[in-house]
């Protein structure tokens, strides 16, 4: 569906990284973009730069999210916000599990619940879910991140079923390593994260993900780009481990 068919968009995790670039792109396409994030100061700067409407809201606060969306008609929803915690289920803590469930899947479900019925009624809409290659491939560590992003993967497929017969499109974007602040927040040290995860690597940039989103939204109305896997050229998923034991 070309951009001219849409008037409004909502982007979560909009204050930095992929979210901020997507806000810029959608605003340039002529959409009135509602930018949602917790950081009010960054949102204010983004609004000044792009003309977006800022909403300083914690998406895990369902009541606040519901109030924010009251009366809004959203044509394009970009579920971008996400968090990660290191460690597998053997050393996970209560907060790490609850936080990732709340941000990565619970908030996504509530946003879709609040916004998608209007899309179906108007016979017009596009939902873009940012998951991860962790939704598709298993590798060591970050068990809850894998689990929650896998839930987003399954949800994305299910939403197409739920909207059957209506002109509501759903796109899942599965990125590999993107140079954002997620590892810095994970470690609590942005400089260390830069050294460990990005220096010397040809990682993806937020603009690369925004390119894919812009393409998917801008395709003709009879085209649904359902699943896009984007990795750096030098990053490959997969591998096989086989531990040999004598006992």
* Pairing of the two strands 76-79 and 125-130: parallel
- Kindly name the residue from 6, 137, 145, 164 that is annotated as catalytic: 145
Average the pLDDT over 143-153 and give the result: 96
pTM of the model: 0.94
Q: What pLDDT sits at residue 192?
A: 78
**d(C-alpha 210, C-alpha 145), whole Å:** 22
Helices H / strands E in the chain, number of each: 9, 7
Confirm if 171 and 163 have CB atoms less than 8 A apart: no
Q: Which two tokens stand for residue 18?
A: 């992929």
Residue 198 has pLDDT above 70, yes or no: yes
pLDDT in tens, 81-131: 999 888 899 999 999 999 999 999 999 999 999 999 999 999 999 999 999
Residue length, the chain?
247
**Residue 123: exposed, middle, or buried by beta-carbon count in 10 A (0-12, 13-18, 19+)?**
exposed
Q: What pLDDT sits at residue 86?
A: 80
Q: What pLDDT sits at residue 185?
A: 73
- Of 19, 17, 29, 10, nearest to 215 (Cα)? 29
**Percentages helix, strand, coil for the chain, rounded to the nearest 5?**
45, 15, 40
Which domains does the chain show, CATH number per domain? Answer: 3-180+199-230 (3.40.50.720)
Average the pLDDT over 10-33 and give the result: 97
Q: In the structure, what pLDDT confidence band is assigned to residue 135 with cuts at 50, 70 and 90?
A: very high
**d(C-alpha 19, C-alpha 37), whole Å:** 9
**145 part of the active site:** yes
pLDDT in tens, 48-88: 999 999 999 999 999 999 999 999 999 999 999 999 888 89
Least confident of 12-16, 63-67, 199-203, 210-214: 199-203
Distance of CA 27 to the CA centre of its chain: 18
Mean pLDDT, the chain, as a whole number? Answer: 93
Residue 34 backbone zone (phi > 0: left; psi -120 to 50: alpha; other: beta): beta
Confirm if 125 and 168 have CB atoms less than 8 A apart: yes
Residue 1 has pLDDT above 60, yes or no: no
**d(C-alpha 63, C-alpha 83), whole Å:** 20
């Amino acid at each position: 569906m070309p951009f001219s068919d849409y008037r409004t968009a909502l982007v979560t995790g909009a204050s930095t990284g992929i979210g901020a670039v997507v806000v810029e792109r959608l605003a340039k396409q002529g959409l009135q973009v509602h930018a949602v994030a917790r950081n009010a100061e960054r949102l204010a700067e983004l609004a000044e730069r792009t003309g977006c409407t800022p909403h300083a809201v914690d998406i895990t606060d369902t009541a606040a999210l519901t109030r924010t969306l009251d009366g809004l008609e959203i044509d394009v929803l970009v579920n971008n916000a996400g968090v990660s915690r290191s460690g597998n289920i053997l050393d996970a803590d209560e907060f790490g599990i609850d936080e990732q469930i709340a941000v990565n899947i619970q908030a996504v479900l509530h946003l879709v619940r609040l916004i998608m019925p209007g899309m179906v009624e108007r016979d017009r809409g596009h939902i873009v879910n940012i998951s991860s290659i962790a939704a598709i491939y298993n590798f060591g560590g970050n068990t809850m991140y894998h689990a929650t992003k896998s839930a987003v993967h399954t949800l994305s497929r299910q939403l197409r079923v739920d909207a059957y017969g209506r002109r509501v499109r759903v796109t899942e974007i599965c990125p590999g390593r993107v140079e954002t602040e997620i590892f810095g927040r994970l470690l609590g040290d942005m400089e260390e994260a830069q050294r460990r995860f990005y220096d010397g690597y040809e990682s993806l940039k937020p603009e690369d993900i925004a390119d894919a989103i812009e393409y998917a939204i801008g395709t003709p109305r009879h085209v649904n780009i359902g699943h896009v896997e984007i990795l750096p050229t030098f990053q490959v998923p997969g591998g096989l481990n086989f531990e040999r034991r004598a006992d």
